[in-house]
Chain A
Amino acid sequence: MTTSASAVPVPTGKRAGRNGPPRGAKIVKMFPLAPAIGLMLVFLAGPILYCIYAAFTNMALTGTGAANVQFVGLDNFRKAFGSSAFTNSIWLTLVFTLISAIIGQNTLGLGLALLMRWSNRIVRNFVGTAVIGAWVLPEVVAAYLLSAFFNDDGTLNVILHKVGLPGQDWLYAAPIIAVSLANIWRGTAFSMLVYSAALSEVPKEIEESAEMDGAVGYKRLLFVTLPMISRAILTNLMLITLQTLSVFGLIYAMTRGGPGTKSQTLPLYMYEQAFSFSQIGYGTAIALVMLLIGAVFSLIYLRGLNSEAA
């Protein structure tokens, strides 16, 4: 990806600029793109445009909004930002993303990747398998495992009791913490893989010469190693933030957003409004807010890739 971010294939030899089959117009050459473009227009661009339209209507599955759909301007957004349930879900989404992605998965993944360079093969394989195993598990299965883990009778409390600490039903007492930890458990592998790959390209000589110059321990890490993988850090942070913003199945299967609305992040709130309460118009307005947040992060990520490549 390092090279392909520039999107233009490197021309080879003298045929630069004319490195295609001799005959055929450009349109014909680009024709194989058609199936992909077709699918993305219908099933990705289509829903997004539909979303922009429906977000400004009172569309619903039942009641007046079902019979005749009307434009209601910014009503849905006014309703959202005035509603405590919506602001609650925004806060929970921020907490969830901060704890589970930016702090949890990112730091733990980086830590694992760094430690793995110092460890022996057996330990490395054991940890790698365990972490990736958690990642490969289907979402709902992971959710059940962790529900059992955090349950009143679950493994976590058994361990806490053994060392003399009080246990509690984590899914009731601190649901957003429990689902955040669950997401760390499930998602760390991704960051670990990205950082392992990035660190494997840091030349050993640079680190060694830095050590000769007296940069040891955390100093070497902070001033030599980390700056060299800054691009991977940026990429990883953006990608895991985007993934975490749209986590639905894990939370839904663990807590259904509850108890009450204590773990109802934005996707769960959207789902409840659109389907349990049949407010499609209002639900799509929330979806649009999520899309915009995602789009902003995505753009920052693209800018980062571009400026680094330039």
Chain B
Amino acid sequence: MIARDRVSKLTANLILAAIGVLFVLPLLWVLFASVNRTAGLRVELPTSPTFENFRAVLNTDTTYRPVLNGIVLCGGSALLTMICAVLAAYPLSRFKTKFNRPFLLTVLFCTGLPITAVMVPVYGLFVQLNLVDTLGGTIMFMATASLPFAIWLTKTFMDGVPISLEEAAWVDGAGSMQALYRIVLPLMWPGIAVVLIFTFIGMWGNFFVPFMLLLSPERLPASVSIFTFFGQYGEPNYGQLAAYSLIYTFPVLVLYLLLSKKLGGAFALGGAIKG
């Protein structure tokens, strides 16, 4: 029995390690190419590693402005999502009305709708409302697109905060918004951080929405401006593309590490989703 256990443990480890290697392989190219001045699509160990690719892309037009645009766009949208989600989650979590269940089912239904499909009509709507190529319009749309999921998650986290503390505050005459701000939020900040960071990561990687709704090069975030590497000169400079990809990826990696180190993030999220 024990020997069999050990064999199956060993097999499990070996299979897992093999899958892990398969997942790492595609990453090698970007790491090697970013420090190789003559990088192509072939994976090769750079003979003389150099940071020249990074130096070449670190300028206003290529990196700083798109990254800043991304921060404004995704940061603004994520904040807006979070504010609306917390406000909406509070009555849904605390007050028992006939309205709650249909509303939550609608929210859940909306999380399933393919946002890609909505993009053509959204573009049409934006043309009519004169919102195409405006940062404000794009922020509002991106916030709305992630709102259903954020409301759902926030409510799940808020349900975990015991209501008895608020009842004491209500007896002392605190209004519900005061109770939310002073009692509930401080108790659920890890949940808030999880929702906020996941919303931001999702938006940071989102290509389609800003690609459709923003036009001027000076407004494009990093996820779209990466396309300019395949611009006028045909074959792109792969080394610089790789270096830029790493710079663009860096913020979400940091956020993700923060999440998993401090909050047990991804697994908490998995727990909230699994149904």
Binding site for B on A (CB under 8 A): 1-5, 7-9, 11-12, 15, 17, 19-22, 24, 26, 29-33, 35-37, 39-40, 42-44, 46-48, 50-51, 54, 59, 108, 112, 115-116, 118-120, 123-124, 126-127, 130-134, 136-141, 144-149, 151-155, 158-159, 185, 189, 193-198, 200, 231-232, 234-236, 238-239, 242, 245-249, 252-253, 267, 270-271, 274-275, 280, 283-284, 286-288, 290-291, 293-295, 297-299, 301-302, 305, 308
Question: Chain B residues near A159 (CB, 8 Å)?
Answer: 25
Which residue among A9, A11, A236 has the maximum number of chain B CB atoms within 10 Å of its CB? A9
CB proximity of A151 to chain B, nearest CB, Å: 4
In the bound complex, what is the Cα–Cα distance between A295 and B12 (angstroms)?
A: 39
Number of A-B contacts (CB under 8 A): 349
Does any Cβ of A come within 8 Å of B182's Cβ? no
Contact B270 A47 (CB under 8 A): no
Q: Which of A11, A35, A118, A140 contacts B12 (CB 8 A)?
A: A118
CB proximity of A134 to chain B, nearest CB, Å: 6
Contact A9 B93 (CB under 8 A): yes
Does any Cβ of A come within 8 Å of B159's Cβ? yes
Contact A145 B29 (CB under 8 A): yes
Q: Which of A36, A119, A246 contacts B87 (CB 8 A)?
A: A36
Which residue among A8, A17, A159 has the maximum number of chain B CB atoms within 10 Å of its CB? A8
Q: Which residue of B lies closest to A127 (CB)?
A: B20
Contact A274 B275 (CB under 8 A): no
Binding site for A on B (CB under 8 A): 8-9, 12-13, 15-17, 19-21, 23-30, 33, 40-43, 80, 83-85, 87-88, 90-97, 99-101, 103-105, 108-125, 140-141, 143-145, 147-148, 151-152, 155-156, 159, 162-164, 167, 170, 174-177, 179-180, 201, 204-208, 211-212, 222-223, 226-227, 238, 241, 245, 248-249, 252-253, 256, 260, 266-267, 269-275
Q: Which of B41, B114, B148, B167 contacts A246 (CB 8 A)?
A: B114
Contact B151 A9 (CB under 8 A): no
Question: Chain B residues near A3 (CB, 8 Å)?
Answer: 159
Knowing that A40-B147, A48-B118, A232-B275 touch, tell me 9 more A-B residue pairs with CB under 8 angstroms: A7-B101, A15-B167, A29-B97, A46-B125, A51-B117, A118-B9, A145-B26, A242-B113, A293-B114
Q: Which residue of B lies closest to A249 (CB)?
A: B207
Question: Chain A residues near B266 (CB, 8 Å)?
Answer: 132, 189, 193
Majority SS at the chain A contact face: helix
Contact A133 B118 (CB under 8 A): no
In the bound complex, what is the Cα–Cα distance between A250 and B8 (angstroms)?
A: 37
Contact B94 A8 (CB under 8 A): no
Contact A290 B117 (CB under 8 A): yes
CB proximity of A245 to chain B, nearest CB, Å: 5
Majority SS at the chain B contact face: helix
Question: Chain A residues near B20 (CB, 8 Å)?
Answer: 123, 126-127, 130-131
Contact A50 B121 (CB under 8 A): yes
In the bound complex, what is the Cα–Cα distance between A232 and B271 (angstroms)?
A: 10
If the complex has contacts A21-B170, A242-B112, are A140 and B226 also in contact, measured as CB distance less than 8 A? yes
Contact B114 A245 (CB under 8 A): yes
Contact B100 A133 (CB under 8 A): no
Contact A290 B248 (CB under 8 A): no
Question: Chain A residues near B42 (CB, 8 Å)?
Answer: 151, 153-154, 158
Question: Chain A residues near B112 (CB, 8 Å)?
Answer: 238-239, 242, 294-295, 297-298, 301
Contact B117 A270 (CB under 8 A): yes
CB proximity of B152 to chain A, nearest CB, Å: 8
In the bound complex, what is the Cα–Cα distance between A143 and B274 (angstroms)?
A: 27
Question: Chain A residues near B122 (CB, 8 Å)?
Answer: 43, 47
Contact A136 B125 (CB under 8 A): no
Contact A194 B274 (CB under 8 A): yes
Q: Which residue of B lies closest to A31 (CB)?
A: B91
Contact B84 A193 (CB under 8 A): no
Question: Chain B residues near A126 (CB, 8 Å)?
Answer: 17, 20
Q: Which of A132, A238, A290, A302 contacts B256 (CB 8 A)?
A: A132
Contact A148 B9 (CB under 8 A): no
Q: Which residue of A lies closest to B180 (CB)?
A: A32
Contact A47 B245 (CB under 8 A): no
Contact A120 B23 (CB under 8 A): no
Q: Which of A9, A246, A253 contacts B116 (CB 8 A)?
A: A246
Contact B12 A139 (CB under 8 A): no
A-B contact pairs, 10 of them (CB 8 A): A40-B148, A112-B16, A119-B12, A120-B13, A132-B260, A133-B27, A137-B252, A145-B29, A155-B43, A270-B117
Contact B207 A248 (CB under 8 A): yes
Question: Chain A residues near B253 (CB, 8 Å)?
Answer: 133, 136
If the complex has contacts A21-B170, A141-B248, are A246 and B125 also in contact, measured as CB distance less than 8 A? no
In the bound complex, what is the Cα–Cα distance between A22 and B114 (angstroms)?
A: 42
Contact A291 B113 (CB under 8 A): yes
If the complex has contacts A43-B144, A48-B121, A115-B15, are A20 and B88 also in contact, measured as CB distance less than 8 A? no
Contact A131 B117 (CB under 8 A): no
Contact B163 A123 (CB under 8 A): no
Q: Which of B9, B19, B85 contacts A36 (CB 8 A)?
A: B85
